[in-house]
A and B are shown apart, each in its own frame.
Chain A
Amino acid sequence: GNSVTQMEGPVTLSEEAFLTINCTYTATGYPSLFWYVQYPGEGLQLLLKATKADDKGSNKGFEATYRKETTSFHLEKGSVQVSDSAVYFCALSDRSGYSTLTFGKGTMLLVSP
């Protein structure tokens, strides 16, 4: 079956530091890949996505590249802000008729001033 593995958190960084959150997946075929963000007390919001190999998703300074050869979709940001503190979820959706999202367990990011 499908699965997503994320690095465990919390990830603690100072403002303006470089961020990487690792995500690897197991799936049949060619899934679509997503990063969601959850701010405290809120639901999950789509941050970025990539639908085929070598695609790069980007939004709000965050980037992730769909690497089929390493089955990875690592999230990066060059300079984090305090407002980026949240829980980040990697997810995949396969291409079957009734595809559902499979989520990783989430990685908490804490950014201090």
Chain B
Amino acid sequence: DAGVIQSPRHEVTEMGQEVTLRCKPISGHDYLFWYRQTMMRGLELLIYFNNNVPIDDSGMPEDRFSAKMPNASFSTLKIQPSEPRDSAVYFCASRSGGGLSYGYTFGSGTRLTVV
């Protein structure tokens, strides 16, 4: 199993541009989570899906952020327009439904820098 795959690993973009982050969860996992990590705020849950359906997006900072999961093997997190304060490491994680005691499997993250 290749684990949770995120792309790109690094993204540098100019303020105002659209940014799309991608995630491929582990096959068979029916929960997918997007987290943001910064020095100031630590790990923040942005949104999560169950069986491709968004369950809780209360952590999405504002309307500039959107996330989709068109199928069980792919999810995107989009920021439009991007701002310097969006600079962070964005992690995707997945979990199987019965995995309450198994925790999550995280991807390696996308380091986003908005200049």
Binding site for B on A (CB under 8 A): 32, 34, 36, 41-46, 49, 51, 89, 91, 93, 95, 98-101, 103-106
> Would A44 and B106 be within 8 Å (CB), given that A105-B42, A106-B43 are in contact?
yes
Q: B100 touching A43 by the CB < 8 A rule?
A: no
A103 to B41, CA, bound (A): 11
The answer to the question of B55 belonging to the interface, with a C-beta cut-off of 8 Å to chain A, is yes
Interface pair A100/B45, CB less than 8 Å apart = yes
Q: How large is the interface on B (under 10, 10 to 19, 20 to 34, 35 or more residues)?
A: 20 to 34
A34 to chain B: closest CB distance in Å? 5
Contacts A42-B108, A44-B106, A98-B56 hold; do A93 and B100 have CB atoms under 8 A apart? yes
How many interface contacts (CB-CB < 8 Å) are there between A and B? 54
Complex CA–CA separation, A101 to B94 (angstroms): 11
Tell me the complex Cα distance, A42–B108, Å. 5
Q: Which residues of B contact A93 (CB under 8 A)?
A: 100, 103
Out of B48, B101, B105, name the residue touching A100 (CB < 8 Å): B48
Q: Are B103 and A46 in contact (CB under 8 A)?
A: yes
